[in-house]
Structure 1
Amino acid sequence: MPGLSIIVAADDARRLYAALETAMASAALGRPARLFLQGDAAALLRAPVRFAGDAPRRAAGQPTLAQMVEEAAAMDVALIVCQSGLALTGTAAGELVPQAQAGGLVSFLAGLGPGDSLIVY
């Protein structure tokens, strides 16, 4: 079944939240999903994950960004953080949430299969 690959290309937690929602919806439909956090977006998965928009989301009965990361990983959404982005943001791989792994853009793109969709946030 074709998969969904998403690149988060900006240090913007709102974009990561939207990308996680999209990936989780794809996974719920039985399609494999992967997220790649590129450049300065790598810092978004530094533990503990925080988002200024968490309070209004909680008030509306929605999960926090940290909860979304946990739920996405539980749904087998792969969370890959750019190795160059880690260097750019001064983040060590050991500082990432345990659900994330470091990787490169070339290997991420090499993992695209025939018929896969690629979205950039």
Structure 2
Amino acid sequence: MRKRTAKFSTKVSVASLLIGLSLASGVGAQTTPHAGHGDAGSGPAEAPSTRAFKAADAAMMTAMAVPYTGDADVDFRTHMIPHHQGAIDMAKVALAYATDPGTKEMALKIIADQEKEIAEMRAWLAARQK
């Protein structure tokens, strides 16, 4: 029992030491450039890109509130169309605000792919209603 208590005590001591060292070294400290400068509300949640992503997300969620028909084929498409449109809208936000070329390339591909799939789903739904 005494040996087990000693091992536990050693683990607690090591953990405490690691926590202390990480705090002393600044690990976990705010490292954003110009941290603490600017307006109090200028965090990431206030970024124009964040507002645009939130707007696209909200529009998608509203558009997905389509009544169910009981027909899985129809329901799948009528709910996926606004989902795909949401992806397009978010990709457009990425094109406007992202800086990484790979992100922009992916956004362009998403727009092209999702527009094609939306057209296919709408055509299927139109043919189904005839």
> Normalising by structure 2, what TM-score?
0.28
Structure that is richer in helix per residue: 2
Structure that is richer in strand per residue: 1
Work out which of the two has the higher radius of gyration on C-alpha atoms and give 1 or 2.
Answer: 2
> Normalising by structure 1, what TM-score?
0.30
Higher relative contact order (CA 8 A, sep 6+): 1
